[in-house]
Structure 1
Amino acid sequence: MECFPLSQVIAFLDRRVIPPRFLAEREPRGTSYGDRARRRLDATGLRRHKDAAPAVHSRNAQESERLVAELMGPLAERVRGAGVKTDYVNLLASLAFLRACAPAAWAGLLRAAPPRRSPEEARRLLRRVGDAADEALRSLGILPGLGRSLDRLRPGSYADLQHVIRLSNDLGPEAFRLLLEQYEEHAGLTSSEFFTPRAVTRMMAELLVREEDERLTICDPYMRGGELLTSAVEAVRDAGCPAAPLTVCGTGSHEETLRLAGMHLMLHGVRARLHIGSGAPWNEPGRPSVTADRILLNPPFNARGSALHTKASGQWPYGPPPPGSDHFAWVQDVLGKLNPGGRAAVLMPNNALSSDSRQERGIRRNLVERGALECIITLPAKLFRDTAIPVSVWLLRHAPGRSRQILFVDARQMGVMESRTRRLLTEDDTSAVVRAVESWQLDRERSVAHAGTTGLSATAELDDVRDRDYSLNPADYVAQTVSAGRDADELQTELEDSADMLRSARQVMLVADRQMTKVQRELDFVHGLTGVRELTHWEERPLGALCEVQAGPSPSLIKRTRSTDGNVPVVQPTHLRDRRIVVPDQVMVRHEHAEGTLRKYRVTAGDILCVRTGTTGPSALVEAPQEGWILGSNLLRIRPLDDPAREVLPDYLLAFLSLPAIEEWIRTRSTATTAIGSISVASLRQLPVPLPTWDEQRRIGDQFRSYDQQIVAHRDFAQAVERSRTALAECVMRQAASVVRPKTTRKGQGS
């Protein structure tokens, strides 16, 4: 039996945060297994040993994010030189791997001190890192190849590389996961290689792992970045079985990601059996058959060239898949690999739930009738990188006998928008799904009727599924009401709130209308506008002489610093509306990043923002409530110079920049290296700006501000009317909710 110092065990447990559903009474969120172990050591008096001291190198999620952000910042550009970002990520992965798995080699790297610290010595040190990492990989049965990647890096100085090595001393499993995200972003992966989102992998793993599980063999037949297997390992240990013997195996079609997956698993203390394979294991008759107790899979959806179902038809026990579709080939391949009592979680596209294909319908029928299908969970769209395709999780089992019941979970409305194109499932979302499934499993084991969870889950008997022609779409079984489960009191409160909002919006609109009536009586200044070229007292100055023009940060910088628990909004082009900024709620960064890395991109009242790329539209004025927000990547910030010789007022400049002729001027000077044009800071600084007197600027700005206020007031009033109408309709038609309920009326529909 191998033994470890208590300090190393505590350090390992410090990196494992206890999931909310496993927290003991009085344990707050964020408690780690290391915290729990220390308390128990204190209680038993065993913590007298110096080995039991807290681990100084443990890193929580926020610390890991900060560390990876530093390593992927300007330091990355200096060290990679002509190399690509993925080569630099491979360097960081190599260093984390060596620190954890080859301590002697790692200690040698930290001690390296050549007499000449030149770029040539830096490249020699890189070769040393690559050779040591490849040697360690070979000894563990993992495909080598890191040396080739690191050879492409061109560090500008030895000191920078040495700094990277020292920072990497704190790279643990959580930081390695963030490095995999960086790899995915820059590797140019295809849709069949994109990694599975963290929230989805954790949910799938928790759905398969039980506290009583022992001696498990866990497999992923189509590994991407190894994220499903690492989540499964974490789930086994989080369930209270840290010493459970685990056998982990997987097959991948991409050498580099397979290597990274093996390294990540080693950082979790697991030596996995990993193999290179194709995206169609049924077309590889010579490959040894692998069986497992738990299988997690995110297969390639209809990958070109993999749908040649060459197995004999008798080897498709649930029916031959149709040509051109691999969905049900993967399902049957997984079922064929499960040990007795085994279970699997497979991601499937939603079109497989109820497709019209005769062959797919036949396979669905056989899966249902033979008891191989345990549960279907539909997930929201936009969870995956660069695709909005919605997917579902299918829970399968090695069926010892026919089951009479299937659980359906409809989680399509869960999650929050992390960006304009990506949705994120929160911990509360995934915990709700896991609880719904575990509650059903417990009731089933006790032979108790399961009530389901209102609006989220419902059970269906075999007859129910037959009646729906073997549709597996949870929307056909889970009751959804128009009131989204709100009771009469909530609806009444909503109606009263909307009425108050409507009255307030009407008052604001009336004030704006009265102001506009006054403005329209004072339109003499229009003659000055139409005769602008005849007014010699209107000087003309380039915008760059009047204002500071700042382009927004790079998209990668925003991506590195954004956070789901951030509190400083990032202004996006879609937030510029009616020459004002609407409240952003999609991308946030933490206050420390806004004050640090992003400080130069903060906006202040009186700034004017305009779109830099894409369709150029009206500009927008920053007001006091937006003070301190962050400029988005595709925006430009125009800030009037703040000095005694200030020559332009923000309101006047906004009115000028909003003219159609000025928008056209910007469009014609936008360079288009792609289909989307982009105006440069230098070009915009050349924009000629006519300057009336200070009093004229003030009058013009005030009058156009009145127009804008009236536009906003009328839009707000229209929205308030719409909200009031919706609230009234929900109250009046509450009894009509049954029209959107599934026709199923048997037990298990929730209360």
Structure 2
Amino acid sequence: MDVADGRLVKRSEIAELAGIKRATVTNWERRHVGFPKPRVSGELELFELGSVVRWLEGRTVPVGNLRRGEAEGTTYAERVRRALGRGEAGRGTAGPEDPDRAKKILDELHGPPADRVRGTGPHAAYLTLLATMIFLRGCAARTWARVRDLVAEAVQEQRPPAALLRELGALSDKALRRNGIRPGAEAAFGALRTEDAGDIAHVVRLCEGLGREGFRLLVDRFEETVRRGSEEFSTPAEIMRMMAGVLLPDPSGPPLRWHDPYARAGEALVAVVAAGGEAELSGESPHQESLRLAELQLALYCTRAELRTGTATPWTGTDHRRFDRILTNPPFNRPGRDWGDRAWPFGTPPARNDNLAWLQHVWQSLAPGGRAGVVMPNAAADSGDAGERAIRGAMVERGAVTCVVWLPGRLFPATGIAVTVWFLAAPGTAGGPVLLVDAARMGTTRGGRRFLTDREWASIVECHESWENGDEGFADLLEGAGTALSVPVEKLRTQGYSLSPSDYAEKASGTAPADVPVPRPADALGEARERVVIADRAVDGIRVEAAKGASAEWPVVRLGDLCDAVPGPSGTRLKEVRRSDGGVPLIAPKHIRGGRVIASDPELIDPEEAERLVRFRVEDGDLLVVRTGSAGRVALVTPRETGWIYATNLTRLRCRRPDELDPRYLFAYLSAPAAQGRIGDLAARATVIQSLGKGRFEEWRLPLPPLAEQRRVGDAVHALDEQVTAHRALADEAARTRDALAAGLVTGLLSAR
């Protein structure tokens, strides 16, 4: 590769490198038809320097313009190459970094520094600043050193931050163009409203510790903050890695042409590079900012791709290139705007959306023997619309669809939508069974998002490979709750070409193995019934009689004299706290149910962060009360939850004098209808949203019976709560048993006697 290849330059930079006047470049451009054409990037016209240098091979430097050391016959191309050789040397350390450290740095970058550097400027400008700094640190060592010097000088000299940002932007754009990346840093940095150059210096120092993983996490965090529309949000790297894994060719073969017709931030092309092997990469996007992010991210992998400005309707263009592999996540469910004059191979897509237009376009863009992976909304796979069903059927019958993977919802940072991944085979592929993988119940939920482990993602790839090899046990390779079916075309016809695994699961289940006993309902419910019996006996042992006004003799006390009321940490503080696997559970209002803390999937706070929130830990015997929204729900903390942290909208009540106030009695009192009604009234008095402040709890007056009576009250209410919990558990178990047995009974696998 020529040293000039991949670099983008302005006319003035061509002139500087060639040692001529800018007007000379303009004259060459006007007078010579063969002079390379510029490409537009925003308001700039940029030239691909490699093409210019090859044109300059035929132009010798006039004798009178030769420089010292240049021989007669020297070409302008040679002069440019020598100038480039004296340019920026070395590429930074763009390799992978510690993911946990990258998360900590990004947590800080999205904390107070973000507000101070961005000011009233757009979030996208701050993203561009961080992404550009990560790129410079990883791929432009000299420029990165100059950035650090500029920042240090600005802080020392107390220069205006706007001037510093202008210098950084101009310096960055030069480095971007040298690396073949479309510029835009100067304009983006100029939109920031920073008040102190020291804040910029702090951000630059933090970016020193970020590389490839930090860049990926940065884009994810931006999605969570800004919530862009489906045309712009990025695709989780794990999805693209799985897709690339399925489509990877034999490593001993020649390099393949991989393409993404809707490249977003380059996630698909990066997944190909990360998977290893040689590849020719290309992509398109209608969004210049997305293309720049893609170029920056690929540069961190020391890779370039041919990235073009495209459209959201590529089937209307004149690009008829064919590719060996296509990997893409096109925008979803947009109304059909322009189907063009093309002949659709499987039928004209319905006007309601362009999902099947994308699938057909990708299929037609495959070279012989090519394959593709396309992210689609679930509806594309099982819609009952007659037009969509007909197209889907034609694709299945002609062997275009080989596999569909159903993924869980909430994988994306910016949307909870669940998606499917379609794997397609090039025209001319013989039709056969379709592999349907149901991974919708795989993974775990953390912080409102769904995550699959690396092992779970890898098992999907292994399942597909095993199925392609004809192995019978392909479904057994899936981890967790994943299932897979190989469905013949004949069966797909009977279900209107639905590609949903649930439409074939019962039919594919075969017969019940003879050596597996079928559980009787009585056996399935045995443990739950035993709990009910024990709870009922405890309640039967309670003796209740009229107290003849004994409560009139009980003193009325102020709750604040016996308890500490501590509201949870602020929402801003919790938002900045890192989450991590194996961390400390965070109790939220939704976990307060039936007088207990029931948290099956709590967020997990990093242990180091939890140490800083020690004031908000709970202990056995504490009470947690929901204080905003539907205020009043109360739970008694048990030994199981000891050490957990509680969230913003909860207040913890801790008995300061247990020799005077029993926690179980306080729980019984606050959960009684009268107290619940009063809490609702007090909360409704708030001026903005219903809430119950710390002072309301402290000033609460409650009757205080003797400690022995408090314990009797607490024991009785606890026994009643245990009875309610046991009966609910029995009802839930009965419902699950009913569903399990009904599935077997209605399919003939089981019979009732």
Specify if TM > 0.5.
yes
Q: CA deviation at 1:355?
A: 2.6
2:345 pairs with 1:308 = no
Matches of residues 216-227 of structure 1 in structure 2 within 5 Å? 216-227=256-267
Aligned residues: 651
TM-score by length of 1: 0.77
Aligned to 2:85: none
Q: CA deviation at 1:97?
A: 0.9
Contact 1:571–1:584 (CA under 8 A) maintained in structure 2 = no
Aligned to 1:321: 349
Aligned to 2:111: 73
Matches of residues 483-502 of structure 1 in structure 2 within 5 Å? 499-502=526-529
Contact 1:68–1:175 (CA under 8 A) maintained in structure 2 = yes
Matches of residues 136-535 of structure 1 in structure 2 within 5 Å? 136-155=175-194, 157-212=196-251, 214-235=254-275, 237=276, 241=277, 244=278, 246-283=279-316, 285=317, 288-304=319-335, 307-312=336-341, 315-385=343-413, 387-419=415-447, 421-443=448-470, 450=472, 452-453=474-475, 456-479=483-506, 499-514=526-541, 517-518=542-543, 520-521=544-545, 523=547, 527-528=551-552
Contact 2:682–2:692 (CA under 8 A) maintained in structure 1 = no
**Residue 690 (structure 1) aligned to one of 701, 712, 715:** 701
Aligned to 1:33: none
Aligned to 2:32: none
Aligned to 2:691: 679
1:99 is aligned with what amino acid? R
1:273 is aligned with what amino acid? E
**Residue 645 (structure 2) aligned to one of 630, 634, 638:** 630
Q: 1:486 to 1:218 in 2, by over 3 A?
A: farther
What are the superposed Cα offsets for residues 111-134 of structure 1, whole Å, 9 maximum, x if unpaired? 343275476444443333322222
Q: CA deviation at 1:322?
A: 1.1
1:90 is aligned with what amino acid? T
Q: Distance in 1 between matches of 2:703 and 2:692?
A: 27
Aligned to 1:21: none
Contact 1:603–1:626 (CA under 8 A) maintained in structure 2 = yes
Q: 1:423 to 1:121 in 2, by over 3 A?
A: same
Q: Distance in 2 between matches of 1:412 and 1:184?
A: 22
What are the superposed Cα offsets for residues 19-62 of structure 1, whole Å, 9 maximum, x if unpaired? xxxxxxxxxxxxxxxxxxxxxxxxxxxxxxxxxxxx99852222
Q: 1:114 to 1:411 in 2, by over 3 A?
A: closer
Contact 1:295–1:334 (CA under 8 A) maintained in structure 2 = yes
**Residue 670 (structure 1) aligned to one of 669, 675, 686:** 686
Report the secondary structure of 2:261's partner residue. strand
Q: Distance in 2 between matches of 1:62 and 1:493?
A: 49
Q: CA deviation at 1:263?
A: 1.3
Contact 1:408–1:477 (CA under 8 A) maintained in structure 2 = no
Contact 1:369–1:402 (CA under 8 A) maintained in structure 2 = no
Q: Distance in 2 between matches of 1:546 and 1:338?
A: 71
Q: Distance in 1 between matches of 2:549 and 2:233?
A: 59
Q: Distance in 2 between matches of 1:486 and 1:708?
A: 45
Aligned to 1:706: 716
Contact 1:577–1:620 (CA under 8 A) maintained in structure 2 = yes
Q: Distance in 1 between matches of 2:603 and 2:575?
A: 9
Q: CA deviation at 1:368?
A: 2.0
Q: CA deviation at 1:96?
A: 0.6
For structure 2, the 5+ residue unaligned runs are: 4-92, 477-481
Q: Which moved more, 1:406-415 or 1:84-93?
A: 84-93
What are the superposed Cα offsets for residues 660-685 of structure 1, whole Å, 9 maximum, x if unpaired? 3332234313343xxxx352746x55
Q: Distance in 2 between matches of 1:282 and 1:556?
A: 48
Aligned to 1:48: none
Aligned to 1:104: 142
Matches of residues 100-139 of structure 1 in structure 2 within 5 Å? 100-112=138-150, 113-114=152-153, 117=156, 120-139=159-178
Aligned to 2:23: none
Q: CA deviation at 1:104?
A: 0.8
Aligned to 1:538: 556
2:73 pairs with 1:63 = no
1:226 is aligned with what amino acid? G
Aligned to 2:603: 587
Aligned to 2:564: 547
Contact 1:546–1:647 (CA under 8 A) maintained in structure 2 = no
Q: Distance in 2 between matches of 1:666 and 1:184?
A: 39
2:434 is aligned with what amino acid? I
Q: Distance in 2 between matches of 1:69 and 1:254?
A: 27
Identical pairs, percent: 32
Report the secondary structure of 1:325's partner residue. coil
Q: CA deviation at 1:439?
A: 0.9
Q: 1:117 to 1:156 in 2, by over 3 A?
A: farther
2:566 pairs with 1:569 = no
Aligned to 1:36: none
Contact 2:592–2:634 (CA under 8 A) maintained in structure 1 = yes
1:637 is aligned with what amino acid? T
**Residue 601 (structure 1) aligned to one of 616, 631, 642:** 616
User: What CA RMSD, in Å, does the superposition of the two structures yield over aligned residues?
Assistant: 3.8
Report the secondary structure of 1:256's partner residue. helix
2:617 pairs with 1:610 = no
Q: Distance in 1 between matches of 2:153 and 2:415?
A: 49
Q: Distance in 1 between matches of 2:548 and 2:517?
A: 53
Q: CA deviation at 1:295?
A: 1.2
Report the secondary structure of 1:186's partner residue. helix
Aligned to 1:30: none
Q: Distance in 2 between matches of 1:428 and 1:495?
A: 38
Q: Distance in 2 between matches of 1:526 and 1:340?
A: 91
2:733 pairs with 1:723 = yes
For structure 1, the 5+ residue unaligned runs are: 4-54, 444-448, 742-751
1:327 is aligned with what amino acid? N
Q: CA deviation at 1:202?
A: 2.0
Q: Distance in 2 between matches of 1:401 and 1:540?
A: 80
Q: Distance in 1 between matches of 2:615 and 2:376?
A: 45
Contact 1:219–1:248 (CA under 8 A) maintained in structure 2 = yes
**Residue 127 (structure 2) aligned to one of 89, 94, 99:** 89
2:578 is aligned with what amino acid? T
TM-score by length of 2: 0.76
What are the superposed Cα offsets for residues 440-488 of structure 1, whole Å, 9 maximum, x if unpaired? 2223xxxxx7565268223233333334343333333345789999996
2:605 is aligned with what amino acid? V
Q: Which moved more, 1:206-215 or 1:148-157?
A: 148-157
Q: CA deviation at 1:689?
A: 0.9
Q: CA deviation at 1:395?
A: 0.5
Q: Distance in 1 between matches of 2:417 and 2:443?
A: 15
Q: CA deviation at 1:154?
A: 4.2
Asked which structure has the greater CA Rg, the reply is: 2
Q: 1:408 to 1:115 in 2, by over 3 A?
A: closer
Q: CA deviation at 1:629?
A: 0.8
Q: 1:200 to 1:525 in 2, by over 3 A?
A: farther
Q: 1:401 to 1:282 in 2, by over 3 A?
A: closer
Contact 2:662–2:707 (CA under 8 A) maintained in structure 1 = yes
Q: 1:498 to 1:527 in 2, by over 3 A?
A: same
